[in-house]
């Protein structure tokens, strides 16, 4: 059996930065430190950091007054920031710089007098944070039908921003629907779309050209990992999301000669290694990696931890 790895796959620069922030905070300040929400959406990463002394909470009320608190890579609302100040919490912000850029763009559009449309998935931590960062009323849309249902006049000055775990391909039809229905629409340039999301989705499309089965390493609550699996399915290749090697069903492999493997932006490479080892235990494999983009993006740590 041939096993072909996608390139790129796994951790992006924002995830690396967020994890580094938690680990450095533990080294410098000792346990416990508190993290609002999962630092990234991967259960293995979260459990590893929990074992080192990180405590993950969904509500700042669970954090003792004055305690060191880290905001997750997904970002938080202004109301959460205000509560942290009110409770005198020592905060280190691990918000991905690309998410923070979306917040800034949204605020800039509001200052221009525009109504902001956020393209994203309701309930996702990043979307909740973005909605809470942009002042005024922001409309969330997830589909072309949502655009048609917007209670706005055609001449309303609009601007759109997007959830970073969506790619250019994911948002194209919604953006087109906005431009068809409204006469004055602005939005960020394509280069502002999250590079990691776009690169990993392009890599899966390449993988689908050669594989007859795709395994996506990632957690069930990871938006970008789920989207990678969906793309494989859309291209006609049976695709499965696996949190780790233990989730692989040998029956999936029956009659398959080329298995493609990739990983979401919050999945560590050690989990990919585990999947490869599990496939080897089922029989001999030939391992190769597709040519693809080699990412060299790095984000600086906050000054307090650098």
pLDDT tens-digit readout, 45-70: 999 999 999 999 999 999 999 999 99
Q: What is the DSSP letter of 79?
A: H
Q: Which residues contact residue 292 at a Cβ distance below 8 angstroms, ignoring those fewer than 6 apart?
A: 6, 7, 8, 199, 202, 203, 206
The backbone torsions φ and ψ at residue 9, rounded to the nearest 5 degrees and listed phi first, read: -155, 165
Position 168 scores a pLDDT of 80
* Residue 144 near residue 89 (C-beta atoms within 8 A): no
> Binning pLDDT at 50, 70 and 90, where does residue 165 land?
confident
In three-state secondary structure terms, 186 is strand
Averaged pLDDT for residues 6-16: 97
Exactly one of 126, 233, 234, 303 is catalytic; name it: 126
* Residue 55 near residue 92 (C-beta atoms within 8 A): no
Computed over every residue of the chain, the mean pLDDT equals 95
What's 8-75 look like in SS3?
CCCCCHHHHHHHHHHHHHHHHHCCCEEEECCCCCCHHHHHHHHHHCEEEECCHHHCCCCCEEEECCCC
- Lowest pLDDT segment from 110-114, 246-250, 302-306: 302-306
Position 203 scores a pLDDT of 97
Q: What is the pTM of this model?
A: 0.93
Position 194 scores a pLDDT of 86
User: What whole-number distance in Å separates Cα of residue 247 and Cα of residue 113?
Assistant: 50
- Residues of the chain with pLDDT > 90, as a percent, come to 94
- Residues of the chain with pLDDT > 70, as a percent, come to 99
> Binning pLDDT at 50, 70 and 90, where does residue 223 land?
very high
Question: Does position 191 have pLDDT exceeding 70, yes or no?
Answer: no
Residue 175 belongs to what H/E stretch?
helix 168-181
Question: Does position 190 have pLDDT exceeding 70, yes or no?
Answer: no
> Binning pLDDT at 50, 70 and 90, where does residue 192 land?
low
Question: Does position 146 have pLDDT exceeding 90, yes or no?
Answer: yes
Question: Does position 77 have pLDDT exceeding 90, yes or no?
Answer: yes
Question: Does position 145 have pLDDT exceeding 70, yes or no?
Answer: yes
Q: Encoding tokens for residue 86?
A: 């009110």
148 catalytic, yes or no?
no
- Lowest pLDDT segment from 161-170, 212-221, 258-267: 161-170
Residue (of 59, 76, 38) closest to 222 by Cα position:
38
The backbone torsions φ and ψ at residue 295, rounded to the nearest 5 degrees and listed phi first, read: -80, 135
Cα distance between the two ends of the chain: 45
Position 251 scores a pLDDT of 96
Position 299 scores a pLDDT of 96
Averaged pLDDT for residues 74-100: 96
* Residue 241 near residue 216 (C-beta atoms within 8 A): yes
In three-state secondary structure terms, 115 is strand
Averaged pLDDT for residues 25-48: 97
> Binning pLDDT at 50, 70 and 90, where does residue 220 land?
very high
């Amino acid at each position: 059996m041939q096993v072909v790895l996608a390139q790129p796959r796994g951790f992006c620069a924002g995830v690396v930065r967020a994890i580094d922030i938690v680990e450095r905070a533990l080294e410098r300040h000792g346990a416990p430190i508190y993290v609002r929400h999962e630092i990234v959406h991967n259960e293995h990463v979260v459990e590893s950091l929990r074992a080192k002394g990180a405590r993950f909470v969904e509500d700042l009320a669970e954090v003792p007054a004055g305690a060191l608190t880290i905001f997750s890579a997904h970002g938080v609302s202004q109301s959460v920031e205000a509560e942290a100040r009110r409770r005198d919490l020592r905060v280190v912000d691990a918000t991905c710089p690309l998410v923070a850029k979306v917040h800034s763009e949204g605020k800039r559009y509001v200052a221009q007098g525009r109504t902001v449309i956020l393209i994203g998935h309701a309930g996702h931590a990043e979307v909740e944070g973005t909605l809470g960062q942009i002042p005024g009323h922001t409309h969330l849309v997830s589909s072309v039908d949502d655009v048609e249902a917007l209670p706005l006049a055609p001449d309303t000055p609009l601007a759109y921003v997007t959830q970073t775990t969506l790619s250019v391909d994911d948002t194209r039809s919604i953006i087109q629907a906005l431009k068809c229905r409204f006469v004055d629409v602005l939005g960020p340039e394509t280069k502002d779309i999250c590079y990691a999301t776009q690169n990993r989705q392009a890599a899966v499309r390449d993988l689908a050209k050669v594989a007859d089965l795709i395994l996506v390493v990632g957690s069930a609550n990871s938006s970008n990992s789920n989207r990678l699996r969906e793309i494989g399915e859309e291209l006609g290749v049976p695709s499965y999301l696996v949190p780790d090697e233990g989730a692989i069903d040998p029956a999936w492999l029956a009659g398959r000669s080329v298995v493609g493997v990739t990983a979401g932006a919050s999945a560590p490479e050690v989990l990919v290694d585990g999947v490869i080892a599990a496939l080897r235990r089922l029989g001999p494999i030939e391992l190769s990696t597709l040519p693809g983009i080699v990412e060299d993006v790095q984000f600086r740590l906050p000054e307090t931890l650098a």
